[in-house]
Amino acid sequence: MKKILANDGIDNIGKEILEKAGFIVDTNKVPQEKLIDIINENEYTVLIVRSATQVRKDLIDACPNLKIIARGGVGMDNIDVEYAKQKGIVIINTPAASSHSVAELVFAHLLNLARFTHLSNREMPVSGHKEFNALKKKYAEGIELKNKTIGIIGFGRIGQEVAKMAIGVGMNVLAYDPYVVSAEIELEFPFLKRKLDVSIKTEKIEVVLKNSDFITLHVPGGCIITKKEIDQMKDGVIIINASRGGVINENDLLNALNSGKIRAAGLDVFENEPHPNINLLNHPKISVSPHIGASTMEAQQRIATELSEKIIQTFEKIQIHS
């Protein structure tokens, strides 16, 4: 039976593609504790999730009708991928669809922090009408991105998109990735109707940490930044995490912000989502967003299109071999 539960939703364009292919697509959100029963009662063969729904061994064991688990996005840390594969379930994700959106959010945080707009946007509505000149003076020591060095830790699709934007605003790029020796970055200039290829070689992580004015992380997980790594950074560095919560040790980050070692931080992800540390949310040196890296209309349409097409192709292969 071709029934799909899109438990974390799917853009209408993807839903329409799937329905035209003969699938029944349900988008009603099912609470985690009821998910196993609902999947079995309705005989869903495909489960579409994003980051919210957890697909662990208990669910995989309890839902024998599942043939495909599809993740709208890149990271699959909420799915027991290898175990599902052992059970014969096909795992699908969309690694390229959201790269540009995440990279743009990185620069939203960078610019916020460089020019203090994360703070002035809070204060201007409250006291800008009577303390305008004082606020003007308070936030007059911003910095430019041009001619600064950005260190990119994790140089896959998203890291390379960040590099493109960094080059576009005149930044120097240092990159680290244990699996990437070099990458060809294609810069597009639509108004000139031309493209330019730039080759970037990766460096040792120590080189990136030591020489970067800004650091952004694009890794699948693990604790990458602790006090040890922070001590190797320039004084006054700005750091961004739009990859996974826990990639930066949050206590070490707070200590470095309070001491001034780190000038500021931009966080889109947190260790304890959906209940992040309140000290991070309220810190004046942190620009925050609620895990929205891939949450643009364009990215969601790309994700839905790619995901639906992969599901259709995979389902056809399963039927041929069954």
DSSP letter (8 states) at residue 189: E
Q: DSSP H helical segments within 116-180, as ranges?
A: 117-127, 132-138, 157-168
Query: Do residue 34 and residue 68 come from a single domain?
Result: yes
CATH number of residue 217's parent domain: 3.40.50.720
Query: Do residue 155 and residue 248 come from a single domain?
Result: yes
Q: What is the pTM of this model?
A: 0.90
Q: What's the domain range around 33?
A: 3-97+297-321
CA–CA dist 302, 37 (Å, integer):
31
Instruction: State the average pLDDT over residues 115-140.
Output: 97
Query: Do residue 144 and residue 241 come from a single domain?
Result: yes
Q: pLDDT by residue (tens digit) across 169-196? A: 999 999 999 999 999 999 988 888 889 9
Q: What is the pLDDT of residue 116?
A: 98
Asked if residues 242 and 102 have their Cβ atoms less than 8 Å apart, the reply is yes
CA–CA dist 59, 240 (Å, integer):
34
Instruction: State the average pLDDT over residues 145-172.
Output: 97
CA–CA dist 230, 205 (Å, integer):
12
Confidence of residue 77 (pLDDT cuts 50, 70, 90): confident
Q: What is the pLDDT of residue 7?
A: 97
Catalytic residues: 244, 273, 291
Q: pLDDT by residue (tens digit) across 188-241? A: 888 888 899 999 999 999 999 999 999 999 998 899 999 999 999 999 999 999
Q: What is the pLDDT of residue 96?
A: 85
DSSP 70-100: EESSS--TTB-HHHHHHTT-EEEE-TTTTHH
Asked if residues 154 and 243 have their Cβ atoms less than 8 Å apart, the reply is yes
Query: Do residue 130 and residue 218 come from a single domain?
Result: yes
Query: Do residue 166 and residue 67 come from a single domain?
Result: no
Pairing of the two strands 90-93 and 214-217: unpaired
Please name the residue that has the structure tokens 């707009």.
117
Q: What is the pLDDT of residue 191?
A: 86
Query: Do residue 134 and residue 248 come from a single domain?
Result: yes
Among candidate residues 97, 80, 135, 75, the one with its CA nearest the CA of residue 11 = 97
Query: Do residue 37 and residue 166 come from a single domain?
Result: no
DSSP 228-264: HHHHHSPTTEEEEE-S-TTSB-HHHHHHHHHHTSEEE
- The residues, ordered by sequence, that sit 6+ positions from 53 with a Cβ below 8 Å of its Cβ are 7, 8, 32, 35, 47, 78
Instruction: State the average pLDDT over residues 108-126.
Output: 97
Total domains in the chain come to 2
Q: What is the pLDDT of residue 322?
A: 54
Instruction: State the average pLDDT over residues 4-23.
Output: 96
Q: What is the pLDDT of residue 303?
A: 95
Q: What is the pLDDT of residue 255?
A: 98
Pairing of the two strands 237-241 and 214-217: parallel
Handedness of CA 57, 58, 59, 64 (dihedral sign): positive
Query: Do residue 39 and residue 106 come from a single domain?
Result: no
Query: Do residue 115 and residue 226 come from a single domain?
Result: yes
Among candidate residues 208, 210, 80, 213, the one with its CA nearest the CA of residue 154 = 208
| Angstrom distances, CA of residue 117 to CA of 138, 140, 250, 253, 290 | 12, 11, 23, 21, 17
CA–CA dist 195, 200 (Å, integer):
16
Query: Do residue 219 and residue 314 come from a single domain?
Result: no
CA–CA dist 79, 52 (Å, integer):
10
Backbone angles phi, psi at 119, to 5 degrees: -95, -45
Query: Do residue 57 and residue 119 come from a single domain?
Result: no
Query: Do residue 56 and residue 186 come from a single domain?
Result: no
| Angstrom distances, CA of residue 223 to CA of 102, 153, 192, 228, 244 | 20, 12, 42, 11, 10
Handedness of CA 103, 299, 38, 43 (dihedral sign): negative
Question: What SS3 class is residue 174?
Answer: strand
